[in-house]
Chain A
Amino acid sequence: RKEVEQDPGPFNVPEGATVAFNCTYSNSASQSFFWYRQDCRKEPKLLMSVYSSGNEDGRFTAQLNRASQYISLLIRDSKLSDSATYLCVVNKAWGSYIPTFGRGTSLIVHP
Chain B
Amino acid sequence: GESVGLHLPTLSVQEGDNSIINCAYSNSASDYFIWYKQESGKGPQFIIDIRSNMDKRQGQRVTVLLNKTVKHLSLQIAATQPGDSAVYFCAEITGTYKYIFGTGTRLKVLA
**Does A associate with B in a complex?**
no
